[in-house]
Amino acid sequence: MQVAGTLNVSLNNFDTTTNGIEIWDGNGAALLGSGAANTYNLSNLTEINGLSFIDGASGNDTLVGSAFSDDLRGGAGNDQILGGDGADRMNGGTGNDVLTGGAGSDIFVFNTSWGRDQILDFDSADQLFFTGITGLDEFADLTQSIVSGNVQIAFGTNTIALVGHTNFLTADDFSFT
């Protein structure tokens, strides 16, 4: 199908494993969720062109990225985000989210009131990126502790548990804007 002009397509609970799309050519478009719980699974795509980001919006969403570099945003709600094989950028948004980067150098993004998030596979190639958070300007503004055998990073009531990670991080693992 080829369309000239503007086309809006609503793909609620889209899953490439059951719907059979293999190539996404979005010309800079974003895939936006509704207020309900959305599932977007792009793991079977063999090619992606022009998909700027996937945003689950509010609701408890499940976002599964592709083998390429994805920008996955959970929005409000308790989301599960799996990056897949590329160098992915993941932002759970507000709520208590579970993030898994997969292979590649991943960036985990945190904004104001991110909640109590978990990262299941943080490694030395990954980065924690904090943006737009008043009073959080540098590594020294965060606290690290061991909770239930995992490193926990905290700022106020917001926490990030690095599941299976028992060594404290260094300033090199963080970015701030």
- pLDDT level of residue 43 (50, 70, 90 thresholds): confident
**What pairs with residue 127 in β-bridges?**
107
Overall average pLDDT of the 53-64 stretch: 89
106, part of any domain: yes
Residue 122 tokens read as: 């943080």
- pLDDT level of residue 13 (50, 70, 90 thresholds): low
pLDDT at 2 over 50: no
128-172 residue pLDDT tens = 999 999 999 999 999 999 999 999 999 999 999 999 999 999 999
171, part of any domain: yes
What is the pLDDT at residue 169?
Answer: 97
DSSP 15: B
9, part of any domain: no
**What pairs with residue 51 in β-bridges?**
29
What is the pLDDT at residue 101?
Answer: 96
How many beta carbons lie within 10 A of that of residue 143, not counting itself? 11
2, part of any domain: no
5, part of any domain: no
DSSP 11: -
106-120 residue pLDDT tens = 999 999 999 999 999
> Which domain range does residue 161 map to?
16-176
What is the pLDDT at residue 28?
Answer: 61
7, part of any domain: no
CA distance 92 to 79: 6
64, part of any domain: yes
What is the pLDDT at residue 35?
Answer: 72
Q: What is the pTM of this model?
A: 0.85
DSSP string, 23-88: EEEEEEEEEE--SS--EEE-TT-SEEEEEEEEE--SSS-EEE--SS--EEE--SS--EEE--SS--
Averaged confidence pLDDT in the chain: 86
37, part of any domain: yes
Number of domains present in the structure of the chain: 1
Question: Of the given ranges (5-9, 38-42, 115-119), which has the lowest mean pLDDT?
Answer: 5-9
Helix residue ranges, H only, 73-155: none
Overall average pLDDT of the 58-65 stretch: 92
> Helix or strand or coil: residue 141?
helix
87-96 residue pLDDT tens = 999 999 999 9
φ/ψ bin of 23: left (φ > 0), alpha (ψ from -120 to 50), beta (otherwise): beta
